[in-house]
Every structure is written in C-alpha cells, then in structure tokens.
Amino acid sequence: MANKIKIKVPVMADLAAKGEKPEYLYWVGCAGAFDDRYKKVARAFVKILNHLNVSYAALGTEESCTGDPARRAGNEMLFQMQALKNIEILNNYEVKKILTTCPHCYNTFKNEYTELGGKYEVIHYTQFLSQFIMNEGRLQIGTSQVSEEKNIFKDKKITFQDPCYLGRANGEYDAPRKVLGTIPSVKIEMKRNKNFALCCGAGGGQMFKEAEKGDKEVFIERIENVFETGADIIATACPYCMVMLTDGLKYKNKEKEIKNYDIAELVVLSLGL
Amino acid sequence: MISNVIFVIILIATILLFYRNVRIIARNIKLGRDVEIKNNKAKRWKLMFKVAIGQSKMVTRPITGILHILIYVGFIIVNIEMLEIVIDGITGTHRLFAFFGPVYNILVSSFEFFAVGVVIACIIFLIRRNIIRVKRFWNEEMTLWPRSDANIILITEIFLMSALFTMNASDRILQLRGLEHFVNVGTFPLSGLLIPFFNGLPDNTMIFLERFGWWFHIVGVFAFLNYIPYSKHFHVFLSFPNVYYSKLRPKGEIAIMPSVIKEVKLMLNESAMEPVEEENAEELTFGAQKVKDLTWKNLMDAYSCTECGRCTSSCPANITGKRLSPRKVIMDTRDRLEIVGKNLDKKGKEYDDGKSLFDLITPEELWACTTCNACTEECPVNIDHLSIIIDMRRYLVMEQAVAPAQLNNMFTNIENNGAPWQFSREDRMLWAEDLNMVVK
C-alpha cells in the first residue's frame, strides 16, 4: 500500500537543542539551497536518506558557501574566511561525517579544510549510495523487489557526465557508475569519459561570469558529445554540470528528446519514492 | 695520436659547456619561491618509475606513445655504445669491447634495430608535424622557433643514427677485407644491408667513410648534448626529477597560502591569540606576478615541458576557441625565466627590466580556465599548469583587485550572504518545504 508521508529535514541547531547528534551532516550547498532546478536534487537525496533511515541533519541557515568558487577565482582571503567560519560551526556541532551532493563542496571539505583545522570524513552522495548498494544491500534498485512498472528507464540510454571535482580531482569514477549500474537501463559512455572527460565549463568561477571570447561555449561542445552517444538521458552528479548541460539542451532545442537528471533523481524515480 | 688529442679536447669542451648550461638552468629554477617537497620518498620513487621511466602517461595516446617509447628506449640503448666510442676516442683503440665476442655482436646488432626504430619514429613524427600538421603542433604559441626546435631535434636524431649505420657498414667491409685494426666482430644485421652500396670502393675511401661515420656520430652527439639546454628537449633530463617532485595530493586540492592565514585570523579578530611578529616578515606578494613569486617546482615544470601540447588539446577553454592554452602558460613562464636569468648574468642582481609574467600571459587567458585539471591529467611529465594559473589569478585579485566584474559580484555575495548568488541566508531551507515521500 503506497502511502505519502511528509519529510521534515532535521536541522543541526534543533537537534543540538534536544541534545541529539546525527551521524551525518548533509551539506546541501548553495545550489541545493537556491538553484531552482538543483533544489529538486537536494529534495531527491533527502528522500533517499529517509528511505534508508539514515541519521542526518542539515545546517539550515547556518550553512554558508565553502569558499570554493572564491578560492579558484583567486580570492584566497575570502576562501579562508569562509573556511574558518564554517569549520568553527562544524566543529562546534562536533561533526564527524559530511555528506555532500556537490562535488565542489566535497573537494573543499575533503582536501582544503584539513590544513585549516577542519578534519572530517567527507562522502559524496554517489559514494554513499554505492556503499549501501555494495556492502549492506539496503539500497536495492532494479531487483526483483522493485516492481516491473518502476523500471521506467528500462529502454532508455543513459550517459554520464563525470564531474571534474569528483573524477580527475579526487579519482572517483566508479561510485557514480556503480549507482547508475543498478538502474535498469542502457548505459553508454561518451567518447571522452572518466579521467579524460570534458568539463562542463562551469568550474573555477566560470559559473558566475560570461565566458571569454571563443568559437563556442564549453557546454555546447559537451552537449554535442552527448548527442554523439544517442543517449536519452544525461546523468549528472554536480550542480554545475546540471546547469550547463541543461542549458546546452535548451540551446540546441533538445529538451523534449533528451532529459538531464541527477543520479539522485534517477534513483528516486526508479524507487518510486 | 693527434686524433686522440683532438677527441679529448672536444670531450672536455663538451662536458664543460654542458655543465655550465645546466648550472644556469639549476640556478634559474632556484630563483623560485622555496617550498619543501621531501615527504613520501617511497611513493615518489614509485611514481617516477611508473610515469617517467615507465612512460605510463605517454601511452594514453597509443600511436604517439609507442613511437615515443621507441625513440626513448632506442636512445638509452644506443647510448650504451657511446661508452665504447668515448673510450676508443680517448685511447685510440677500435671497438674495445669486441673481446666480449659473440655477446658483443649480439649487443651491437640489437642496437641497430633500436636505431632503426628511432629513425622510423622520427620520420613519422616529422610527417605528423609538417605534412599532416596535427593541430596541437600549430597552435598560436607554436611560433617559428618552437616548430623549428622540434624539427631540428628529429632531423638531428635521424642524422646521428644514419652516421651509426655508415660507420658499421664500412667497418664490416673493412673487417671482411681483413685490414689490421678492424677486428672481426661479425655481421651487423641491418647496416649489413648497406654493404653492396659501398663494397666497390677502395680501402682508403672505406676507412674515410668509417672514420667519418664515427666522428660525425660522436661529435654530433656532443653538439646535440649542448643544444639540449637551449631547447625544449631538456625534458630528457628533467622529466625524471619533475615527476619525482610532482604533487601527490589529490588534483582537486589547491595549495594553501600560509601568508593569508595570518591576515584572515586578524580579520576574524583572533589577533589576541597570536602576538604580532610582522617586523621581520619578508615582504610577500599575494599570488604570482614575477617568476620569483612562483615556486621552484613551477619553474622546474617550465623547463620540463617539451611542448607536446597534450594539455592544450584537452583544455575545454582551448578546444572551444578561447585564448587560454596551458602549454603557452608553461612556455611563457620558461621564456620569462630565461630572460630573468640572462638579465641576472649580464646586468646583476639589482637590475629590474620592469617586466613580469603578465607581459606574456594575459588576464584573458587566466580567466578562461575552468580549473578542470584536464591539462595536469594529460601531462606525461606531471606538470602542474593549474598552480601557475591560480597563483596569477591570486595576484590579479588580491594585489590588483582587477577580477572580472561578475566575479567581484560573486565575491560580494559570498561575503554578504554566504552564497555566490544574491539570496538571503534566511531562505536556505526553503528547498526542503512541502516535501513528501511515498512509503509502502
């Protein structure tokens, strides 16, 4: 019997007031909080967290940019200010494990906060989900337990855009593919993939500015790579990639034929959550 | 006897000149900012064996990778013979190691196969560069000199190998004719094929040919050795230490600026915990304007680059027609460093030509980077292009405050609302409202 329940995302301060401490902090990121399209990804991910009965909370209004775009745009001062402020908050709550949906936040916590006193176990949500699939069998997609009508992607071709900050930056190519692999569908790689994948064009501060003069936008080049595969769905695992590739689809008037979903959304749709 | 003396003089001159040029390069590299790279020795050796000696990143492009390995292995192997040639030259002996008998013949014969491999690879490379005109060899920064440099290297290598064949073929003919001095060392499998072309010539001409091949080869090698410090070909030496000292941390990590930590702590009003010790702190530039603001590793990167352009050919900005070329950033750094070094030698420590990296690398190039690390992933000798780009951006932002306006907006937004966009912090949880889930 399908039943709808309301999800209330727990907030750190509220839990702390009750003397509770969640196992994981879900770092929503600015895109999850403010980008209309990517909010849906954050929503999808907390659905999965609830589905898996994970003990988690978000920082809510205490969350602030990690400083990644500032640092990559050369503003080390601003980056360190953000970092120190965030670390203070995280350490006050005695946060040990951080879950992120954004690979840029993931990279910053994992690699760039340690030297400033922020030492956490940082897990990208694709890694988190792949752990659940592999070790505990608690996340089951596309198994006999999932009814046939929920195999909605069965005949769809899915291609995956490696986020630079998950892939090249941190060497994680398998986890997102592992999760995608459990979704009944046809997986198809772009010509440039994994460590040779082409960037969507948004990293390093590009997201927030016009591109320099050139022949074309990077996301157009990449969306053409997607077309070469004949894929019906582009799976992304990064808010920047999602904005850029969705823009590419709009630019090429292919929004009807090809859809851009985040892996978390594909999981939610497959599970019918 | 005279020839021995001449040989020794050339040998000594070669060594001295090479030593001098290498010292200049080492001195130039040390002009860079000091960073300590000493940790993880075992890991570094392993990386060097894999990436530099093992050429693991070359073969990601299989055709050029294998051809390059042919030249690389060929040159190392053929240079074993150099040892004999040098000793012969000093002492006046001929094929000193011939007393090893059949082993010697097998060795010298196998050298010939490697030498042919080198010639074939060089010819294919010349065709790729000059006839097929592979795009990455014709990018904007590939001006006349870099293109000529590459051709000079390839053609020289072909000549050096041809001299070796001439020498071996005429030597074998003289052996067969039983001339004194020319020890019978057996047939040479490949240069043996040249014998019919030379066989009718008189002994004197044959001796001349043999000597010509010998001298051309060895003097050519000496000259080439002293060409290398002026050339992109210096990678044959520096690729090994450059990989050894390369970044071991994840590519995503950008090096922290310790000088900023202090400033930030002051700003966040934590000054109480640290007494001011600014007096003797040396004057630091935030970011990089001049080569001396870069680390010595950045500068070693610059001298290790052989301008293959794999970085640029995979750079999203460059692919889509932007001005940024990671190879150019590296070449410009080296070119600027060369000028700084020459000024130092000619005009002394105090001289400043008033120029900087920014005379060669423009903000337009720097701002086009997406920090995606495609360039560093591609580089066969682990050059870190991104580190230079970030450090130059830091100079533009923190010293000059000349970031593109939209980036300044982003900074302001982060400062004011804690997000790169103009949204209120209070709205951070709106995404989670009215969220329902289906349960069974």
Note the pLDDT of residue A136. Answer: 63
Termini Cα distance of chain B:
99
Strand A157-160, strand A121-124: pairing: unpaired
Cβ B216 vs Cβ B274: under 8 Å? no
Q: State whether residue B195 is helix, strand or coil.
A: helix
Whether residue B328 sits in one domain with residue B193: no
Whether residue B279 sits in one domain with residue B205: no
If you write DSSP's letter for every residue of B90-148 in order, what string do you get? Answer: HH--SSGGGGGTHHHHHHHHHHHHHHHHHHHHHHHHHHHHHTS--GGGSSTT--HHHHH
CA distance B175 to B35: 58
Residue B322's nearest CA partner among A202, A212, A198, A224 is: A212
Question: How many Å lie between the alpha carbon of A204 and the closest alpha carbon of chain B?
Answer: 4
Search chain B and give the residue with CA nearest A105: B252
Note the pLDDT of residue A145. Answer: 54
- CATH value at residue A42: 3.40.50
In a domain, A28, yes or no: yes
Note the pLDDT of residue A166. Answer: 98
CA distance B334 to B302: 5
CA distance B155 to B163: 12
Residue A103 exposed, middle or buried by CB count within 10 Å (0-12, 13-18, 19+): buried
Whether residue A145 sits in one domain with residue A78: no
Structure tokens at B234: 């210096």
Residue identified by tokens 């491999």 is B117
Roughly what angle, to the nearest 10 degrees, separates helices B144-176 and B102-130?
150
Termini Cα distance of chain A:
13
Indicate the number of domains in chain A: 2
Cβ–Cβ gap A71/B403 under 8 Å: no
Note the pLDDT of residue B271. Answer: 54
Whether residue A114 sits in one domain with residue A228: no
Structure tokens at B376: 């560093």
Residue identified by tokens 């060795």 is B107
In a domain, A80, yes or no: yes
Whether residue B267 sits in one domain with residue B240: no
Whether residue A264 sits in one domain with residue A147: yes
Residue A73's nearest CA partner among B87, B413, B220 is: B413
Cβ B79 vs Cβ B115: under 8 Å? no
Whether residue B306 sits in one domain with residue B182: no
If you write DSSP's letter for every residue of B37-77 in order, what string do you get? Answer: --S-HHHHHHHIIIIIIS-TTGGGSHHHHHHHHHHHHHHHH
Report residue A137: phi and psi, to 5°. Answer: 60, 15
Question: How many Å lie between the alpha carbon of A143 and the closest alpha carbon of chain B?
Answer: 16
Note the pLDDT of residue A143. Answer: 66
Question: Across-strand partners of A7?
Answer: B435
For B108, the domain range is 2-30+61-244
Cβ–Cβ gap A74/B438 under 8 Å: no
CA distance B214 to B225: 17
CB contact B62 to A (< 8 Å): no
Per-residue HEC secondary structure of chain A comes to CCEEEEECCCEHHHHHHCCCCCCEEEECHHHHHHCHHHHHHHHHHHHHHHHCCCCEEECHHHCCCCCHHHHHCCCHHHHHHHHHHHHHHHHHCCCCEEEECCHHHHHHHHHHCHHHCCCCEEEEHHHHHHHHHHHHCCCCCCCCCCCHHHCCCCCCEEEECCCCCCCCCCCCCHHHHHHHHCCCCEECCCCCCHHHCCCCCCCCCHHHCCCCCCCCCHHHHHHHHHHHHCCCEEEECCHHHHHHHHHHHHHCCCCCCCEEEEHHHHHHHHHCC
Which of A66, A76, A124, A267 best tests the B interface by mutation, with the highest count of B CBs <10 A? Answer: A76
In a domain, A136, yes or no: no
CA distance A68 to A31: 13
In a domain, B435, yes or no: no
CA distance B200 to A52: 88
Indicate the number of domains in chain B: 2
In a domain, A1, yes or no: no
Whether residue A93 sits in one domain with residue A22: yes
Whether residue B269 sits in one domain with residue B210: no
Per-residue pLDDT of chain B (440 residues; tens, 9 = 90+): 789 999 999 999 999 999 999 999 999 999 999 999 999 999 999 999 999 999 999 999 999 999 999 999 998 888 888 899 999 999 999 999 988 888 898 888 889 999 999 999 999 999 999 999 999 999 999 999 999 999 999 999 999 999 999 999 999 999 999 888 888 888 888 999 999 888 889 999 999 999 999 999 999 999 999 999 999 999 999 999 999 999 999 999 999 998 898 888 888 776 555 555 554 455 678 999 999 999 999 999 999 999 999 999 999 999 999 999 999 999 999 999 999 999 999 999 999 999 999 999 999 999 999 999 999 999 999 999 999 999 999 999 999 999 999 999 999 999 999 999 999 999 999 999 999 998 87
For A68, the domain range is 12-128
Which residue in A39, A70, A215 is closest to B411 by CB distance?
Answer: A70
Search chain A and give the residue with CA nearest B434: A6
Search chain A and give the residue with CA nearest B60: A196
CA distance B47 to B242: 11
Whether residue B332 sits in one domain with residue B414: yes
Whether residue B293 sits in one domain with residue B147: no
Strand A3-7, strand B435-439: pairing: antiparallel
pLDDT one-digit tens code per residue, A15-37: 999 999 999 999 999 999 999 99
CA distance A49 to A55: 8
CB contact B401 to A (< 8 Å): no
Give, for B377, the enclosing helix (H) or strand (E): helix B374-378
Cβ–Cβ gap B435/A58 under 8 Å: no
Whether residue A160 sits in one domain with residue A95: no
- CATH value at residue B383: 1.10.1060.10
CB contact A218 to B (< 8 Å): yes
Cβ–Cβ gap B431/A43 under 8 Å: yes
Whether residue A253 sits in one domain with residue A188: yes
CA distance B69 to B232: 18
Whether residue B262 sits in one domain with residue B225: no
Higher pLDDT, A175 or B284: A175
If you write DSSP's letter for every residue of B392-431 in order, what string do you get? Answer: HHHIIIIIS----HHHHHHHHHHHHHSSSSS--GGGTTGG
Restricting to B residues 349-368, those with a Cβ less than 8 Å away from any Cβ of A are 364, 367-368
Whether residue B267 sits in one domain with residue B233: no
Average pLDDT along chain A: 95
CA distance B142 to B226: 23
Domain boundary among A128, A149, A165: A128
Handedness of CA B51, B57, B58, B62 (dihedral sign): positive
Domain boundary among A128, A154, A173: A128
Cβ A10 vs Cβ B429: under 8 Å? no
In a domain, A7, yes or no: no
Whether residue A256 sits in one domain with residue A194: yes
Cβ B29 vs Cβ B300: under 8 Å? yes
CB contact B393 to A (< 8 Å): yes
CB contact B269 to A (< 8 Å): no
Structure tokens at B54: 């093992």
Whether residue A81 sits in one domain with residue A113: yes
Give, for B436, the enclosing helix (H) or strand (E): strand B435-439
In a domain, A135, yes or no: no
Whether residue B142 sits in one domain with residue B99: yes
Search chain A and give the residue with CA nearest B323: A214
Residue A10's nearest CA partner among A29, A28, A36 is: A28
